Amino acid sequence: MTHLSVNINKVATLRNARGENMPDVQRFAQECERLGANGITVHPRPDERHIKYSDVFLLRPLVKTEFNIEGYPSPEFMDLVLKVKPAQVTLVPDAPDALTSHEGWDVEPNMEFLTGIIDRLREAGIRTSIFVGTDLDNIKAAARTGTDRVELYTKPYADIYPKNPEQAVAPFVEASRAAHQAGLGVNAGHDLNLDNLEFFHSRLPYLNEVSIGHSLISDALYLGIGETITRYKQCLV
């Protein structure tokens, strides 16, 4: 079974627009779990423009499924996750002012840095995932860091899918196989939605988890969060 982790950053963005606690991010996370989400993902950024560090501490005792925290492993981020100890930390190479994640790690030049970070997280009992593209050598390099999983950056798939689904998914199929052969679990995320997720899931072997935020929260504005989570999970059957 491929798990669905709901990224709730956009809920925090809406809340922050008014500076009050509406919508309630913690309550929304609990509702997602009640409605069938297999996990909750957050990506706190240095400027706290959506999820705040305080949110992460509040969410920790409430999330009963899998708590996944994404981010660049700055000293502040590492201090946060080592205190919170989520089920999984996903390492992304974002600059502090990045609007959204738009590429994976180039692992080899960052090998020493990533290995040190992953060693610290493993000692704390936290599963790790490295955000990467589909380059096979890069995935093999990721395995040498000691990470447990990779998360495949799926925007290139989403961009090509409307014109040529088979062409769009082919590199991800090979990447998933390479990761599995290297002993890694496989996650995926970015621009996956109700139009392209079912096909992606049907073709990709060894897919452990998808993390979806922007599209899922946008769909919930029309469908409601319950119906939205049901439809996304149906894509993963």
DSSP 191: S
> Up-side HSE of residue 72: CA atoms within 13 Å toward CB?
17
Catalytic residue among 33, 43, 66, 151: 43
> What's CA 86's distance to the chain center, in Å?
13
Catalytic residue among 33, 70, 151, 209: 70
- Assess whether 50 carries a catalytic annotation: no
- Assess whether 201 carries a catalytic annotation: no
Region of residue 206 (phi > 0: left; psi between -120 and 50: alpha; otherwise: beta): left
Per the CB < 8 A criterion, the answer to whether 5 and 208 are in contact is no
Q: Where are the alpha helices (DSSP H) in 7-74?
A: 9-16, 25-34, 53-59
- Assess whether 3 carries a catalytic annotation: no
Catalytic residue among 33, 66, 190, 209: 190
Active site residues: 43, 70, 190
